[in-house]
Amino acid sequence: MQFKLIMLLFLFISLSSESFVSAKVVMIFPKDSILYYMRKVADKEIQEFTINSKNIPQTDWQNAVMYAGYIALKQLGNNKKYDDFLYGIGENNNWNTGMHRFFADDYCVAQMYAQMYMQHHEQKMIAYWKPLADSIVQHQFTEQLEVIPQINYREWAWCDALFMGPPALAYLSTALNDRKYLKKADSLWWKTTSYLYDTSENLFYRDSRFFNRREANGQKVFWSRGNGWVMGGLVRMIDNMSTKFLNKKKYVSLFQQMAKRVKALQQPDGSWHASLLDPAFYKEKETSGTALFCYALAWGIRKGFLNKKEYLPAVNNAWKALMAAVHPDGLLGYVQKVGDKPTATDYNSTGAYGIGAFLLPGVRYINYINYKF
């Protein structure tokens, strides 16, 4: 069975990119092959996590992003193995966040806690996160966002923070049916956006240090994964908003602007390279950014925010590029290492956050296969 699935997947991968654009515009990958590869990658990472769990704190953002992917994966049939894995992480952490209390990277893990709470309804899962979130709600964030030492411990001064911090508050709002956390996330979201969003390019600078930097070709520096963090954060924020939420239309508008721009920057093989505006300098595909864009675009189609005929070929091509980066043993390659700007990557480069990013669009893909367009 597994051999047939692999052969079927390779048959699809061998198709030319032109074949994805047809009058019908359909999903091209069968559900079983998607699930097979998702589980292969997920199980490989659990194995690696067990061996190397002491290398990176389990509350660290790198692992927290990985947990987001497993939260999504376990919802496909409510797989107990993945639920047990996440529950064990929570227990190991005593359901607490990282040591820097206002540092978005250190409370990204609370997204998983709030989502687990929604399923298990165990108070301990948010016993530390709720009072911390209350303190964030009460705090007046009044600093400028120009990068200075340790500003990231106090403000959302870098674009990655829009994936790490706001959704943690938004999921708590949903879990407790209390809008104050979402409203605080909303106010801080737009503070960061007004500072880092380039309205002429419809892309986010990573932080203030990049306002005047240029790539080798003279273009502005827009980091693929950084903009992927923003689009993933948009998805997760909007998912926690009712139709009556005051600024929901602003989020959807921002999402659509970025989606149009990102789609235009997709490379012929379906991927995005580390630098969005200088892909020739960074020649390799970069899978963490590609996965986050794939996730966001697929979500946008399903929600009706993006036109299926226009955007589904881009999702198909992105998923094709992601599948081609999976090693025979399940390791996901071409994941840019931890950083804050475009850098080169290769077939053997991987990271826990890349696995989380990879699982998110896979789950969305399967949701759409089961959905009648």
CA distance 221 to 215: 6
Q: Which residues are annotated as catalytic?
A: 160
Q: What is the pLDDT of residue 24?
A: 57
For the residues of 285-324, what is the DSSP string, one character each? B-HHHHHHHHHHHHHHHHHTSS-HHHHHHHHHHHHHHHHT
With pLDDT > 70 as the criterion, what percentage of the chain qualifies?
Answer: 90
Between the alpha carbon of residue 23 and those of residues 11, 260, 282, 305, 372, the distances in Å are: 21, 20, 34, 20, 16
Q: What is the pLDDT of residue 8?
A: 44
Q: Identify the band that residue 31 occupies on the pLDDT scale cut at 50, 70 and 90.
A: confident
- The domain segmentation of the chain, as residue ranges, is 2-369
Pick from 57, 119, 66: nearest CA to 93: 57
Residue that has been written with the tokens 């390279």 in this structure: 273
Give residue-wise pLDDT tens across range 287-326. Answer: 999 999 999 999 999 999 999 999 999 999 999 999 999 9
Give residue-wise pLDDT tens across range 244-282. Answer: 999 999 999 999 999 999 999 999 999 999 999 999 999
The two three-digit tokens of residue 211, written as one number: 């306002």
b/e map 227-257, b = 16+ CB within 10 Å? bbbbbbbbbbbbebbeeebebeeebbebbee
Q: What is the pLDDT of residue 365?
A: 76
CA distance 334 to 357: 13
Mean pLDDT of 34-49: 92
CA distance 298 to 275: 22
Q: What is the pLDDT of residue 11?
A: 40
Give residue-wise pLDDT tens across range 342-369. Answer: 999 999 999 999 999 999 998 887 776 5
Report whether pLDDT(52) > 50.
yes
pTM: 0.92
Give residue-wise pLDDT tens across range 177-227. Answer: 999 999 999 999 999 999 999 999 999 999 999 999 999 999 999 999 999
What CATH fold (topology level) applies to the domain 2-369?
A: Glycosyltransferase (1.50.10)
Q: Which of 44-58, 127-141, 175-189, 323-337 has the lowest mean pLDDT?
A: 44-58
